[in-house]
Structure 1
């Protein structure tokens, strides 16, 4: 393959990824077909998505991986700075700020936070997302550091709060991204402001007492 043809293929692949991310964020993954992605990306070949990625599941994973390298690098850098810290906030920050800093770096508008929110509402695609997330070495390290500093919790409560925390981060980031896109975000609001609020809330969530349950 010539270098010019390879470059065109790479450009087409990137255009399809960007277009699919936007359409999935705006309409939901289930509501958008591969053909619609190809058409919106200006491809005369309606099977361009299949040619470059395969199935819709493969396309979803490719979008996630397009962003994961930056998030992983940021988290590894943060973990290196907080190693040995006895402050729960430091470890919770490692789970929140790599994503908000990545979103900051993308400028405005962005669609990734809303894309992730859409993916997490679909059982099949959510499973793909979870598998990708838990293949992250930095995420595992961050969770291990955090769990060492929280009170001992019943396993079902620990899982419940882990799910609460994940949903909080996903949907609060999506809400801010939507507000930025619509021009309704408060003037003083920044991604750092959002991150600080999430860290406060998550620390409170993990340290909250457990009510006796019947």
Structure 2
């Protein structure tokens, strides 16, 4: 349980919290959440008191939540703005761009090195922490509107829609994580910029959403062949962000 700060100590406490969040994000990204102790985070944040993490956040889970919120807020605002520009669109690519660009533009703005993409990939592998990520950044109103827009454009059976939503999410998380890691290490990246990487992601995810559906053995999915030009096929050679 956090103790109340005396009057006049709030700015100092907030600065300490920010240093802890920054240090924890880097350590979690580089080593994994489970492998990093509160003592290591306190030391990396320059805190002589090794109980600083518990004092300011109470638990590692709340520290993870603070890191997610630091990035989720600007990403959500960017997605709200982009969704407002494409609302009503029947082009799959427009809605996929709303999924990809807010994240990649945020990562580009963080500079090199950054740690949020690697941190996100670490968190998404932990069942308990994944729920925090989902609650803070994967269940927002704008993201739900993006998925609704894709549903309206792609006209897929529900099981296929859910499956491809998961595919798209994994692709964004892990391709961004890979690029961020390579940038931090100074090694070769597939694309020269986050903008270029985002275009490749939008291409790939658009193709996933527009791919034909083959019925499985149990007949749970219904194939929906489509003619050229339907379901946003014009996206394949259309405008690029």
TM range, smaller chain: over 0.9
1:188 to partner: Cα distance: 5.5
User: Is the Cα–Cα contact under 8 Å of residues 151 and 161 in structure 2 kept in the other structure?
Assistant: no
1:102-141 matches, within 5 Å, as 102-141=106-145
Give the alignment's TM-score, normalised by structure 1: 0.95
Using the TM superposition, name which of 157-166 and 105-114 deviates more.
157-166
User: Is the Cα–Cα contact under 8 Å of residues 113 and 173 in structure 1 kept in the other structure?
Assistant: yes
User: Is the Cα–Cα contact under 8 Å of residues 95 and 142 in structure 1 kept in the other structure?
Assistant: yes
Using the TM superposition, name which of 94-103 and 131-140 deviates more.
131-140
CA deviations over 1:12-49 (Å, ceiling 9, x no partner): 10000000000000000011111211111111111111
Q: In structure 1, what is the Cα distance between the partners aligned to 2:177 and 2:18?
A: 22
Higher helix share: 1
User: Is the Cα–Cα contact under 8 Å of residues 151 and 207 in structure 1 kept in the other structure?
Assistant: no
Give the alignment's TM-score, normalised by structure 2: 0.84
User: Is the Cα–Cα contact under 8 Å of residues 68 and 137 in structure 2 kept in the other structure?
Assistant: no
1:187 to partner: Cα distance: 8.6
1:107 to partner: Cα distance: 1.1
1:143 to partner: Cα distance: 1.3
1:1-214 matches, within 5 Å, as 1-3=6-8, 5-153=9-157, 155-186=158-189, 189-214=192-217
CA deviations over 1:75-94 (Å, ceiling 9, x no partner): 11101111122211111100
| Root-mean-square deviation over aligned CA pairs | 1.4
Q: In structure 1, what is the Cα distance between the partners aligned to 2:79 and 2:149?
A: 13
Q: In structure 1, what is the Cα distance between the partners aligned to 2:193 and 2:85?
A: 23
- Aligned residue pairs, count: 212
CA deviations over 1:107-147 (Å, ceiling 9, x no partner): 11100000000000111111221122344111111111111
Structure 1: state its 5+ residue gaps: none
Q: In structure 2, what is the Cα distance between the partners aligned to 1:85 and 1:156?
A: 23
Q: In structure 2, what is the Cα distance between the partners aligned to 1:80 and 1:88?
A: 15
Using the TM superposition, name which of 63-72 and 179-188 deviates more.
179-188
Q: SS of the counterpart of 1:45? A: coil
User: Is the Cα–Cα contact under 8 Å of residues 92 and 209 in structure 2 kept in the other structure?
Assistant: no
